[in-house]
Every structure is written in structure tokens, then in C-alpha cells.
């Protein structure tokens, strides 16, 4: 695909002006890094605050056609407790196929609209597929309204609260996975306390034509730097978070992908979602292979696709995400191994460029998450 055919987010001009190195990603021209560089962008986000353009991701409203709870309907394809979501609460979930495989992961939020409208954010590379699946399987009962005229920006890091609450003090009152309507610089935005870096922070859905002005306003703070996709990837890897299409694909179940937290307790009991037979079976008996965190002993990063061997040299799996963790200070990875080799502390070998490197199964996150959870 030539650059001319790439889509541009509303912040394209800002990226170019800031010296962003633009690369094709999921059909969009996106900044992989700025002059600060991936390492320093990563460290800055963990130290202060990073501003990410995630406008390429899919935002949509979901409503039912008959006025009933749309969450009850999408629960047929998603195993999380969604119908119990109260207004202003959000959850991570997965969109399942008939075989219990994960088509995509997504965030589902209950808006304040009286009919219980849901706001979902899906992965850029999957948005058309996701919308087609929802339309195909649930289109008789749901309407899906993609929000093509909205940008999405993420402000992540320990200074995010101070920076954003200077524009709207009420955002400080949001807890992790809560969302609300907030006026920022005179513009009504949908703000959630969430993100995909392991840090505290916010995601801000803003009308496209206001996105650049709001971003520039946030960048006035010395604590805020623009952060590209390169650091976004290393931040989410250190946080132990899955990347769609890499750490799972349509053949991977939520049990295999080790996102069991996305399965609601009552939903497990009821088994009222597609693929439940397989997923509940794996929950009870264990999956043959599971995603684990892996720390290489040496300094060599183990990239996606690196073969994993048992200690006696038998190839047993593959790395699905891997690289250097700037905050961790060394290489970190995730990959799939047989259940018998999935215990933390298990020794493995990674076949990097034909040579075996020692590695150890290690609990994720590799760097502690610092979400502002609700005080109970």
C-alpha cells in the first residue's frame, strides 16, 4: 500500500510537525516514534505522562432495536459480565467466534443514555471484521453506529491526572475503568480512566475537528510528550497485556490466552455465550497450551515468532510478543507453552537465530500496574 492510500487520523499534521516517523499501521499512517525515540518515550510515560493518538481504533455505539438492554444481546458473543454494567462503568472483553476463539479484544462501556447504549472501542486492524461479525450475527436485534467523526487520544502516566484535572477537576474523581462526559476546553468529550500501558491515565474521545487543539493544549505541560506506536507496544508488553492478532488469534480461546479475568463469574455458571462448551471445558480441565510471561536470562531480545523449547530441547511453542522492556531493563516476552511448562519459574530455552538461550516462565505484569482503582 503506497502512502497515498493510507488513512490519516485527525492528528496527522501534528505528528508530522512534531517530527513523527510515520509508518503504515492497520491502513493508517501512524507515528512509530518521535525525535525523543522509543526508549525515552517509554520511560517518559512511566515517569510523567505520554500523549498517544489512538484515533485509528474503532469507536462505536451499540443500541438494541427494541429498546431492550444491548449488553444482554452482545453477551451472546462476549463472555464478560456486561449486562450488569452500570452507567459510566467499563469492562475489557473479547469477541468470540462459534469455536470459542477470540476474534478481537475490546473495551465495552455503558453510557449514560437512558436506553443503556454501549460505547465500544475495538482494535484498528479488526474494526471492519468486528463490525461485520456484530452485524451478521446480531444485526437483527442491534444497531451499530461507528463514530467516524471522533478522534481518540490517550493520556497515560503518573502525571496524567494532574494534567487533565487542570482542565476539568472532575476527572480526578474517576476510578480505573470508569467513564463520564467531561467538557475540556469548551468541547464535550467522553473521558475514561483507562488505557493500555499499565499506567494510570485517561482515554479521551473527542470530536475530530477539536482533537488537534485539545492535544496542543495538553502538550503545553512540560510533563506531557507525544508518544508513538513503538513505545505503546513496549509499554503494553511490560504491562503483560495482549496484542490482538499476535498474542491471540481467532483460534485462541480466552483460557489459552490467559484472559480468564474477562469471563464473568455468573457467565461461567450460565455458559450462555458462543464457544462456551470449549471455554468452560478448558476452565475445568485446563487448556493444552497457555500464554505465559517469559524472561530471557541474557540480554538478547526474543522477538515474535521465536521458537520456545523445553529444557531438553524439544520445540514446544512460540513467542507471540517480545522485545526489550525499557523500564524492566532487559528483554521480556510472552508466548504459548504446554500447560505442563506454564508454572512460574519453569526453565525454557528460546531458539534465537539458531542458538538456545535460557529463559524462565515469569508472572506478568513485568512492571507493576499502577491503576487508580476505586477505594473500597
Partner 1 sequence: MTKYTEDHEWIEIDGDVATVGITDYAQKALGDVVFVELPEVGATFSAGDEVAVVESVKAASEVYAPLTGDIVEVNEDLEGEPALVNSDSTGNGWFFKIKLANVADLDDLMDEAAYNAHVAGLD
Query: C-beta of 301: minimal distance to partner 1 in Å?
Result: 5
Q: Is 48 in the site for partner 1 (CB under 8 A)?
A: no
Q: Is 353 in the site for partner 1 (CB under 8 A)?
A: yes
Q: Which of residues 234 and 258 has its CB atom nearest to partner 1 in the complex?
A: 234
Query: C-beta of 273: minimal distance to partner 1 in Å?
Result: 37
CA-closest candidate to residue 306, choices 342, 359, 240, 256: 359
Q: Is 323 in the site for partner 1 (CB under 8 A)?
A: yes
Among 32, 84, 168, 283, binds partner 1 (CB under 8 A): 32
Q: Which of residues 130 and 238 has its CB atom nearest to partner 1 in the complex?
A: 238
Q: How far apart are CA 82 and CA 61, in angstroms?
A: 14
Among 9, 33, 80, 109, binds partner 1 (CB under 8 A): 33
**Residues ≥6 apart with Cβ < 8 Å to 207:** 149, 150, 151, 187
Dihedral, 49, 50, 53, 59 alpha carbons, nearest 10: -40
Query: C-beta of 333: minimal distance to partner 1 in Å?
Result: 13
Query: C-beta of 298: minimal distance to partner 1 in Å?
Result: 9
Question: 92 pairs with which residues across the strands?
Answer: 107
Query: C-beta of 30: minimal distance to partner 1 in Å?
Result: 13
Among 37, 88, 146, 365, binds partner 1 (CB under 8 A): 37
Among 140, 220, 265, 299, binds partner 1 (CB under 8 A): 299
Please provide the DSSP assignment of 237-282 as one string: HHTT---BTTTB-TT--TTTTT-GGGS-HHHHHHT-STTHHHHHHH
Dihedral, 24, 25, 28, 33 alpha carbons, nearest 10: -70
Q: How far apart are CA 200 and CA 370, in angstroms?
A: 6
From the centroid of its chain, how far is CA 201? 13
Query: C-beta of 187: minimal distance to partner 1 in Å?
Result: 34
Chain residues 330-349 in contact with partner 1, contact rule CB under 8 A: 331
Q: Which of residues 114 and 354 has its CB atom nearest to partner 1 in the complex?
A: 354
Window of 55-63, 185-193, 265-273, 300-308 that interacts with partner 1 by CB under 8 A: 300-308
Q: Is 300 in the site for partner 1 (CB under 8 A)?
A: yes
Tell me the three state secondary structure of residue 11: coil
Among 326, 334, 348, 350, binds partner 1 (CB under 8 A): 326
The size of the interface with partner 1 (CB under 8 A), counted in residues, is 20
Chain residues 166-225 in contact with partner 1, contact rule CB under 8 A: none
Q: Is 301 in the site for partner 1 (CB under 8 A)?
A: yes
Q: How far apart are CA 109 and CA 107, in angstroms?
A: 7
Q: How far apart are CA 322 and CA 305, in angstroms?
A: 9
Among 9, 156, 205, 234, binds partner 1 (CB under 8 A): 234
Q: Is 245 exposed, middle or buried (0-12, 13-18, 19+ CB in 10 A)?
A: middle
Q: Judge contact between 85 and 91, C-beta under 8 A.
A: yes
Window of 66-74, 144-152, 227-235, 270-278 that interacts with partner 1 by CB under 8 A: 227-235
Q: Is 38 in the site for partner 1 (CB under 8 A)?
A: yes
Query: C-beta of 247: minimal distance to partner 1 in Å?
Result: 17
341-366: burial string, b at 16+ Cβ within 10 Å, e else: bbeeebebbbbbeeeebebebbebbb
Among 15, 42, 127, 159, binds partner 1 (CB under 8 A): 42
**Residues ≥6 apart with Cβ < 8 Å to 10:** 55, 151, 208, 209, 211, 212
Q: Judge contact between 291 and 298, C-beta under 8 A.
A: no
**Residues ≥6 apart with Cβ < 8 Å to 330:** 295, 296, 299, 324
**DSSP structure class, residue 329:** T
Q: Which of residues 40 and 165 has its CB atom nearest to partner 1 in the complex?
A: 40
Query: C-beta of 106: minimal distance to partner 1 in Å?
Result: 26
Residues that bind partner 1 (CB under 8 A): 32-33, 37-40, 42, 230-231, 233-234, 299-301, 303, 323-324, 326, 331, 353
Amino acid at each position: 500500500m503506497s502512502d497515498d492510500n493510507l488513512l490519516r487520523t485527525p492528528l496527522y499534521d501534528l505528528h508530522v510537525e512534531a517530527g513523527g516517523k510515520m509508518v503504515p499501521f492497520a491502513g493508517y499512517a501512524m507515528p512509530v516514534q518521535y525525535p525523543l525515540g522509543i526508549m525515552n518515550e517509554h520511560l517518559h510515560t512511566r515517569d510523567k505522562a505520554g500523549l498517544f493518538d489512538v484515533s485509528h481504533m474503532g469507536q462505536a455505539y451499540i443500541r438494541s432495536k427494541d429498546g431492550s438492554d444491548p449488553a444482554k444481546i452482545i453477551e451472546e458473543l462476549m463472555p464478560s459480565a456486561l449486562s450488569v454494567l452500570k452507567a459510566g462503568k467499563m469492562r475489557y472483553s473479547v469477541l468470540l467466534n462459534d469455536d470459542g476463539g477470540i476474534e478481537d479484544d475490546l473495551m465495552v462501556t455503558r453510557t449514560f443514555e437512558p436506553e443503556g447504549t454501549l460505547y465500544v472501542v475495538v482494535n484498528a486492524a479488526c474494526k471492519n471484521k468486528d463490525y461485520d461479525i456484530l452485524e451478521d450475527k446480531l444485526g437483527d436485534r442491534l444497531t451499530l453506529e461507528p463514530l467516524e467523526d471522533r478522534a481518540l487520544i490517550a493520556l497515560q502516566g503518573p502525571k496524567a491526572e494532574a494534567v487533565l484535572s487542570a482542565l476539568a477537576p472532575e476527572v480526578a474523581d474517576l476510578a480505573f475503568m470508569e467513564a463520564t462526559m467531561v467538557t475540556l476546553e469548551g468541547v464535550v468529550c467522553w473521558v475514561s480512566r483507562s488505557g493500555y500501558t499499565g499506567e494510570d491515565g485517561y482515554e479521551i474521545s473527542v470530536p475530530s475537528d477539536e482533537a488537534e487543539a485539545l492535544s496542543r493544549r495538553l502538550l503545553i505541560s512540560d510533563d506531557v510528550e507525544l508518544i508513538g506506536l513503538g513505545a505503546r507496544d513496549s509499554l503494553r508488553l511490560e504491562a503483560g497485556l495482549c496484542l490482538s492478532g499476535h498474542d491471540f488469534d481467532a483460534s485462541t480461546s480466552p483460557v489459552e490466552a490467559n484472559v480468564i479475568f474477562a469471563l464473568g463469574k455468573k457467565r461461567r455458571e450460565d455458559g450462555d455465550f458462543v464457544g462456551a462448551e470449549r471455554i468452560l471445558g478448558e476452565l475445568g480441565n485446563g487448556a493444552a497450551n497457555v500464554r505465559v510471561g517469559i524472561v530471557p536470562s541474557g540480554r538478547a531480545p526474543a522477538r515474535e515468532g521465536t521458537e520456545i523449547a523445553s529444557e531438553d530441547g524439544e520445540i514446544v511453542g512460540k513467542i507471540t510478543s517480545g522485545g526489550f522492556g525499557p523500564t524492566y531493563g532487559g528483554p521480556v516476552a510472552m508466548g504459548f507453552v504446554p500447560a505442563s511448562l506454564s508454572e512460574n519459574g519453569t526453565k525454557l530455552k528460546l531458539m534465537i537465530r539458531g542458538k538456545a538461550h535460557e529463559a524462565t516462565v515469569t508472572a506478568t505484569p513485568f512492571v507493576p500496574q499502577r491503576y487508580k482503582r476505586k477505594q473500597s
